[in-house]
Amino acid sequence: MTAQLSSRLLYGILLLGIWIESVHAISEFTPVRVRDRIVIVAPHPDDEVLAASGLIQQAIAVGAKVKIIYLTNGDHNQAAYRRYTQRQQHPSFRPTQFALGEQRRVEASAAMQLLGLASKNLIFLGYPDWSTLRLWRDYWETDEVLFNNATGVDRVPYPEDFSYRHAYRSENITADLCATLRTFKPTRVFVTHPCDTHPDHRAAANFVQLALLELEAEGIRPELDFYIVHFGSWPATLNYHPTLPLEPPRTLRDDSDWQSLPLTPKQIQRKYQAILTNQTQVTDQRGLLTAFARTNELFATGQAPTVPLLPEHAELDWTKAAHLRALAVLPSESGYVTNSLAELPSSKTVVDLECIDFLRQDDDLVAQLNLKNLTGQRGNVRLLLFGYRQGTAFASLPKVQINITPDNRLNVQITHEGVEDPGVTLTNIDTRMILRIPLKLLGGTDIDHLFATAIAYFGAKIADDTAWHLLRISPN
C-alpha cells in the first residue's frame, strides 16, 4: 500500500469515526430548576436508587420538590429474602409472606434519607411484584382480580401503602397513579424505559404514560424521561467502578435521545452507600447493583412516535412509518432471574422479529411486520393493540390481539374473546407480513393514541418481541 493511499484510508477512517460519534452523541441533561417538581416512578424499591440517586441529590440541592412513587413493594423474590434472613443470624426467625415487602420499604426509606429525601415524600402503591405486566395485558374491565402466588393475596396487603386494600386490577393502578400525580402536579416525570427487559419495568412505562394521557385534559403536562435498569448484559462491567462512565445499551443508542447527568465524586459515593442499604437485594446481586454507581446517570426523552397519515389511494411509503425495532434480548442474558410470569423472549431460535412499522391510511391502521426467517419455518406472530381516545375510559376500549399462524390464518380477539368478522386482511411479501386493520376495531377512527407490541413465537416459547410502545395516531 502506498503512503498516499494509506494516508487517505486513515483520513477516511477518521472521518467515519467522527460521523459515527456524531450519530451516537449523547447530550447533556437538562438541569433541574428550583421551581421543578420531580416525580420518579420506581417499579420496585431500589430502581430509583440505581437510576436516579444523583438526580435526587441535585434536585434537593437546588431546592426542587421530589416525590418517589413505588409501583410495587418488591415482594416476589421470597427465596432471596430467606437467604438474606439466614445471613442475619436469626435462625429461629420465620418471616411472613409480607415481610419482604415491608423490609424493602424500610430499605427504600433508609436509602432516600441518605440522599436527603424525607420519608413523607415516598409513596408506595404496593401492587404485585412480577405481575404488573400481566395486569396491563389481561385485567381491564373485568370482574376477575389477579391473585399473587408469592404473597397469597389479591389486593394490596400493606397498611402503610397508599393503595392499601385496593384490588389487583389495572384500573386501580391507573387511578392511583393519576391521583398521586394530580395532587403533586409534577413538571418532570421519570420512569423505566419501555424497552427495559424486566416485565414490571415495561408495565410501569405503560401505566405512567397512560396516566399522563389521562391528566392532559386537566392541564398537567410534565416532561417525561425514561431510565433503564435491565437490558441484556448491560452494564457490561459489573461491580463498583466510580471513575467509569455509564453508556446506553448499544442496541438502544439510536432509538432514543439520550441525556447524561454528570455526578460529583461525593454524589457517586453517596449513591454507592444508598445502593448498599438495599440489603435484601445486595445479598444476591451486589455486582449488578453497585455497577450503577458511575460518573453519570442516563435518561432518554419520552416522546411518542407519530403514525403518519397517507392519502387514501397512495402507495404505502414505509420510509415515513413509525418504526418499532425488536430487541433480541433474552431473560438469561439479563441481570435478573426470570420466571413463568414474564412475557419475554425465552430462547434463541431461527425465527426472529426484526421490526414492525405503522402507517395510517384513511380509516385503517396498516402494520408491516418484518421477519428474519433463516429456515423457512416460523411460529405464531402476535400483535397486541390497545387504542386510546381522550375522554373515553381506557378500560372500556377494545384490547385487540391479532394472532398470525404459520399457515397465515388470522385469529382476532378482543379482550380474549374471538371476533368472527374483524375486517383484518393479511398480505405476505417475502419475509414481510402486511396487516390492514380497521381503526373501528381498536375503538373508532378517532382514537388518538395506540399502545402496541409485536411478539414472535417458536412453538410455545417467545422468540422475540418489540416491547410495548405508545404511538400517536394522526387524525384523518
157 within 8 A of 151, measured Cβ to Cβ: yes
Report whether the peptide linkage leading into residue 235 is cis, meaning its omega lies within 30 degrees of zero: yes
Q: Quick: pLDDT tens for 370-394.
A: 987 655 566 789 999 999 999 999 9
Domain ranges of the chain: 27-301, 306-473
If pLDDT is split at 50, 70 and 90, which confidence band does 137 have? Answer: very high
| pLDDT number for residue 88 | 62
Q: Please give the average per-residue pLDDT across 27-52, as a whole number.
A: 97
What's the confidence (pLDDT) of residue 373? 62
* pLDDT value, residue 339: 36
Which pLDDT score is estimated for 82? Answer: 65
Domain boundaries 27-301, corresponding CATH code: 3.40.50.10320
C-alpha cell at 51: 437510576
For the residues 264-269, what does the mean pLDDT come to?
98
Q: Is 317's pLDDT higher than 90? A: yes
**For residue 337, pLDDT beyond 60:** no
pLDDT in the model for residue 331 = 43
Q: What is the pLDDT of residues 63-96, one digit of tens each?
A: 999 999 999 999 987 666 666 666 665 555 556 7
Choose between 21 and 320: higher pLDDT: 320
Mean pLDDT on 176-187: 98
Share of the chain above pLDDT 70, in %: 85
Q: What's the confidence (pLDDT) of residue 96?
A: 76
Average pLDDT, the chain: 88
Task: Return the pLDDT at 380.
Answer: 86
pLDDT value at 10 more than 90: no
pLDDT band at 406 (very low <50, low <70, confident <90, very high): confident
* Nearest to 104, CA basis, from 73, 70, 132, 130: 73
The full 3-state SS of the chain, as one line of letters, equals CCHHHHHHHHHHHHHHHHHHHHHCCCEECCCCCCCCEEEEEECCCCHHHHHHHHHHHHHHHHCCEEEEEEEECCCCCHHHHHHHHHHCCCCCCCCCCCHHHHHHHHHHHHHHHHHCCCHHHEEEEEECCCCHHHHHHHCCCCCCCCCECCCCECECCCCCCCCCCCECCHHHHHHHHHHHHHHHCCCEEEEECCCCCCHHHHHHHHHHHHHHHHHHCCCCCCEEEEECCCECCECCCCCCCCCCCCCCCHHHCCCCCEEEEECCHHHHHHHHHHHHCCHHHHHHHHHHHHCCCCCEEEEEECCCCEECEECCCCCCCHHHCEEEECCCCCHHHCCCCCCCCCCCCCCCCCEEEEEEEEEEECCEEEEEEEEEECCCCCCCEEEEEEEECCCCCHHHCCEEEEEECCCCCEEEEECCEECCCCCCEEEEECCEEEEEEEHHHHCCCCCCEEEEEEEEEECCEEEEECCCEEEEECCC
Per-residue confidence (pLDDT) for residue 84, from 0 to 100: 65
Closest CA to 335 of 150, 196, 133: 196
Q: Rounded to whole angstroms, how far apart are CA atoms 56 and 337?
A: 28
Q: Which residue has the higher pLDDT, 423 or 329?
A: 423
Per the confidence metrics, is the pTM higher than 0.75? yes
End-to-end CA distance of the chain: 60
Q: What is the pLDDT of residue 377?
A: 63
Q: Domain 306-473 - what CATH class?
A: mainly beta
Using only C-alpha atoms, what is the Rg of the chain?
23
pLDDT confidence of residue 7: 46
Domain 27-301 and domain 306-473 have a common topology:
no
pLDDT band at 255 (very low <50, low <70, confident <90, very high): confident
Segment 195-236, tens digit of pLDDT: 999 999 999 999 999 999 999 999 999 999 999 999 988 998
> For residue 8, what pLDDT is reported?
46
**In the numeric block, which cell numbers belong to residue 285?**
446481586
- Above 60 in pLDDT, residue 164? yes
Q: 344: pLDDT confidence band, cut at 50, 70 and 90? A: very low
pLDDT at 383 (0 to 100): 96
What pLDDT does 14 receive? 40
Which positions ≥6 away from 195 have C-beta within 8 Å?
202, 228, 231, 252, 255, 327, 467
* Residues 235, 236, 239: CA angle, nearest 5 degrees: 75
